[in-house]
């Protein structure tokens, strides 16, 4: 798969938390050749089903992104905004954003505020409007904006806004195309509103009622940080999640993923993250509980406009996900 092209295609869609319709439509078109059926549920999750007679396996990758939402337009035409998801002011200052209607602007800092003291409330969006009336002809209160930074590759890295979590959406698409012989009943769910509190995966997991759940997401690569908040490094392989702040992964899933990595000679590493969560947090407590784990892609500079992943890790994640989907699993409630 040409990951750069797929990421550029997905990022061209407007898809902040709460307004994922454009990206869901694009993903549906890309996934349909590998599916028996596709549908969008009430909340907006895209569910892609490959039918099987075995246990239900739910893979989940969120398709929403962080973003900005307009809260006020002043007399000079400058836009105040709130955040959709986790956004740090230093990550977006002096970067371009675009609205769903194509209007673009740049994030700037209010006068008499120093960079070292700034908060998100000290920033504003400048769309080049002449005054308030001009701005209101272009943008309305409640309109949302997403990063307009470009994606690019180096020799072995991919850099782009919203690799959290568009790269995992690409991984799911690629894995679907490689799955051949399988007996499991496979559900690939592109979830909404993960960045606002794992909202989409809750009804999706309840409706599917899976026997196994795998969240596919990025994880913080902390090799440049001596605080050791995370355990993964770029180029170390697919990361098998052990825990994060939303979940302690089921030991049976961790064991299966580790054995698949060894038997298939897939480069793998362990993912222990002390802050941040994934859709696994909602899936594992659905109904009577679900055996849940995670396949993570190490990522630098998460929630910035220049997130970075290793293309080798991406390939390893595809292989590990494919191996889990093709493994003959058993339905069991007694896991002791």
Q: Which residues are known to be catalytic?
A: 194
Tokens in use for 66? 């962080």
Question: 179-194: b or e for each residue (b if 16 or more CB lie within 10 Å)?
Answer: beebebbbbbbbbbbb
Q: What angle (nearest 5°) sits at the alpha carbon of residue 194, between those of residues 188 and 199?
A: 90
DSSP string, 123-189: EEEE---SSHHHHHHH--TT-EEEE-PPPEE-SSEEEETTHHHHHHHHHHHHHHHH--S--SEEEEE
Tokens in use for 3? 């990951």
Q: How far apart are alpha carbons 214 and 240 in whole angstroms?
A: 10
Q: Cβ-count burial of 119 within 10 angstroms (0-12 exposed, 13-18 middle, 19+ buried)?
A: exposed
φ, ψ dihedrals at 9, nearest 5°: -65, -45
Q: Cβ-count burial of 83 within 10 angstroms (0-12 exposed, 13-18 middle, 19+ buried)?
A: middle
Place of tokens 């549920």: 41
DSSP classification of residue 102: S
> Quick check: 197 and 66 in contact, CB under 8 A?
no
């Amino acid at each position: 798969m040409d990951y750069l092209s797929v990421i550029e295609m997905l990022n061209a869609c407007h898809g902040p938390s709460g307004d994922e319709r454009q990206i869901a439509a694009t993903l549906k078109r890309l996934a349909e050749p590998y599916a028996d059926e596709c549908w969008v549920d009430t909340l907006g999750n895209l569910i892609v089903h490959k039918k099987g007679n075995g246990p239900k396996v739910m893979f989940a990758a969120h398709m929403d992104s962080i973003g900005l939402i307009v809260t006020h337009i002043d007399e000079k035409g400058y836009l105040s905004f709130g955040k959709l998801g986790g956004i740090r002011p230093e990550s977006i200052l002096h970067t371009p954003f675009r609205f769903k209607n194509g209007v673009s602007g740049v994030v700037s800092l209010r006068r008499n505020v120093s960079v070292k003291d700034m908060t998100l409330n000290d920033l504003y969006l400048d769309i080049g409007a002449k005054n308030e009336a001009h701005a209101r002809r272009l943008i309305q209160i409640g309109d949302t904006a997403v990063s307009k930074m470009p994606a690019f590759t180096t020799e072995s890295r991919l850099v782009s806004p919203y690799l959290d979590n568009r790269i995992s959406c690409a991984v799911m698409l690629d894995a679907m195309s490689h799955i051949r012989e399988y007996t499991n009943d496979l559900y690939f769910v592109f979830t909404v509103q993960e960045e606002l509190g794992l909202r989409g995966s809750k009804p999706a997991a309840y409706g599917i009622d899976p026997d196994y759940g795998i969240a596919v997401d990025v994880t913080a690569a902390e090799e440049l940080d001596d605080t050791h908040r995370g355990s993964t490094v770029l180029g170390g392989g697919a990361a098998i999640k052990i825990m994060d702040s939303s979940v302690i992964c089921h030991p049976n899933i961790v064991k299966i993923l580790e054995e698949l990595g060894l038997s298939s000679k897939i480069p793998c590493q362990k993912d222990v993250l002390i802050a941040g969560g994934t859709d696994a947090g909602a899936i594992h407590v659905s109904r009577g509980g679900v055996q849940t784990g995670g396949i993570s892609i190490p990522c630098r500079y998460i929630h910035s406009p220049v997130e970075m992943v290793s293309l080798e890790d991406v390939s390893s994640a595809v292989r590990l996900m494919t191996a889990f989907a093709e493994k003959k699993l058993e339905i069991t409630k007694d896991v002791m």
